[in-house]
Structure 1
Amino acid sequence: MQPGRFVAVGDSFTEGVGDPNLHYPNGFRGWADRMARQLGRADPAWEYANFAIRSKVLDQVVDEQLDDALALTPTHISFYAGGNDILSLRSDIGALMSRYELALKRLVDSGAHVLVFTAFDTRTTALLEPLRRRVLTFNDAVRDLAATHGATLLDHTLMREYDDRRLWAPDKIHMNRHGHKRMAAFVLRELGIPHTLKVRELDEWQPRGWRRAVQEETFFLRTEVAPLVRRRLTGRSEGDLAQPKWPEPIRPADGMKRLARRQARARQPH
């Protein structure tokens, strides 16, 4: 494949939440940064930009990111949005997917190779069944729209190794370092681009004892669920003050940690 310019737009999935790394902008690395590094190794001419910010809903991604992303004339663009919308039981999935289609068509019409993703179907407790039905509806629509408009579909739901919670961060919503690395390898494989990522093989899962399970669930409710509820009640989100990680194209082959330090210095007030 000829080198080009890969641009990522979306929410926390693409920003890299769950894969903390203080050497990268916003304190996260994530699958898109990991993929970009591999693109740079495959060919130093590859360029990369990433506008994704956590907690953004579809309309925010479209209004705040698409113009800037398309202005960079990407050859490849990844688009993941809508996941935060379906978390709200009040959102209209049909209307949501109509707006999603308008955004997708705009991206495809730019001439870029467009990558879209399904949301992972967790298949967990019956308490989350209403959410799971919304995820299934969202995913079916994404599959249909990808086929209709000629976008490349990365079907996260088919990757059942993600049923293993060792690929997820403590919040149970975002992938952890191992999960993000697997996603980067998955996308690169689908694009036919060789990589040097060492994907961890998972050994047999040892079930938790009930005491450990109670401790972990209590910790999860206190540190993840309660803060989320507070933010929802106050109308605030984690992404309100965040800036895009890589708003200007970089060449990952030049060293992303070095480029991140240079970007941080440029953002400091003088």
Structure 2
Amino acid sequence: MESNSRSAQSYTRYVALGDSQTEGIGDPDGLGGHRGWADRFAELLGAAQPGLRYANLAVRGRRAGQIRAEQLDPAVALRPDLVTVMAGMNDLIRPRLDRPALLADLDAMFGTLIDTGATVVTFTYPDIGGVAPITGPLSPRIYALNADLRTLADEHGVTLIDFELVDATTHPLVWADDRLHLSPLGHDLVARALADTLALPGADDSWRDTLPPVRRGTAEALAVELRWAVRHLLPWIGRRLRGRSSGTGIEPKRPDLLPILA
């Protein structure tokens, strides 16, 4: 792919809002924590624009209303000139979806952040029914949310990265074993998509490239599905039934704007 020839805007204060994907679950940092696409993108941005400071307010398990209640005001207080918002998937996977409330929370976050003068970036979601077939009944919800995200982004002037349209985002290698979180390859894909969208030097659209197929026989495929259900799906259902969240007691990993370290 050819390098991006567009001119990148200069940013000095980047703040990421969201849930487990933005926190970086599925992408271990080798030190007992999590890296993730926001960290990866901040490193790319910091290399292109020295002096960048970066905060990550995301916490795993948070729904859009919680992100709005817990992260929006602290984000505004940091006076960012670049903000990313990834929110809504934890609402969609709950048995009961309050769609009007979800859209109201997204609308309020986008409006408030755009009013600060910051560049705001959000994302549509890939169809997780293509990642875990048992979640196929959630596909209509995802397509509906993506349509709403496109409308809200257009209304507010938010930059939208449309992952629904990219085949690579449902490739098995892009997802961790639990199929709820991105793998290191998936987090890298999102970071490169952001770099391309914001025209960072050296960025290109190779994140859109089709990945080679993973071929399994019927018996192997069934065994993979069974292991996933036992190791990940059933424990997740158990936590939901007990009213527990993976984010209980978790604080943002990077609540303050800090320099990007080599």
For normalisation by structure 2, the TM-score amounts to 0.89
Determine which of 133, 141, 146 is the counterpart of 1:139: 146
Tell me the C-alpha RMSD between the 2 structures: 2.1
Q: 1:83 to 1:199 in 2, by over 3 A?
A: closer
Give per-residue Cα distances to partners, 1:77-98, cap 9 Å, x unaligned.
0111111011123122133212
Q: What's 2:95 paired with?
A: 89
Q: What's 2:253 paired with?
A: 245
> Aligned pair 1:128/2:135, yes or no?
yes
> What is the rounded CA distance, in whole Å, between the counterparts of 2:48 and 2:74 in structure 1?
26
Equivalent AA in structure 1 for residue 15 of structure 2: V
Asked if 2 retains the 8 angstrom alpha-carbon contact of 1:93 and 1:134, the reply is: no
Q: 1:7 to 1:151 in 2, by over 3 A?
A: same
SS at match of 2:59: coil
> Aligned pair 1:162/2:172, yes or no?
no
SS at match of 1:77: strand
Give per-residue Cα distances to partners, 1:178-229, cap 9 Å, x unaligned.
1110110110110011257997977632411223222221211111111101
SS at match of 1:27: coil
Where do 5+ consecutive residues of structure 2 fail to align? 1-8
> What is the rounded CA distance, in whole Å, between the counterparts of 1:189 and 1:111 in structure 2?
21
Asked if 2 retains the 8 angstrom alpha-carbon contact of 1:170 and 1:220, the reply is: yes
Between 1:119-128 and 1:237-246, the stretch displaced more is 119-128
Post-superposition offset of 1:114: 0.5
Asked if 1 retains the 8 angstrom alpha-carbon contact of 2:57 and 2:255, the reply is: yes
Q: What's 2:200 paired with?
A: 193
SS at match of 2:128: coil
Determine which of 80, 87, 94 is the counterpart of 2:86: 80
SS at match of 1:19: coil
Q: 1:164 to 1:73 in 2, by over 3 A?
A: same
Between 1:203-212 and 1:8-17, the stretch displaced more is 203-212
Number of aligned positions between the proteins: 252
> What is the rounded CA distance, in whole Å, between the counterparts of 1:196 and 1:190 in structure 2?
9
Between 1:240-249 and 1:202-211, the stretch displaced more is 202-211
> What is the rounded CA distance, in whole Å, between the counterparts of 2:87 and 2:160 in structure 1?
14
Q: 1:126 to 1:53 in 2, by over 3 A?
A: closer
> Aligned pair 1:234/2:242, yes or no?
yes
Equivalent AA in structure 2 for residue 115 of structure 1: V
SS at match of 1:248: strand
Q: 1:171 to 1:57 in 2, by over 3 A?
A: same
> Aligned pair 1:112/2:118, yes or no?
yes
> What is the rounded CA distance, in whole Å, between the counterparts of 1:56 and 1:160 in structure 2?
27
For normalisation by structure 1, the TM-score amounts to 0.87
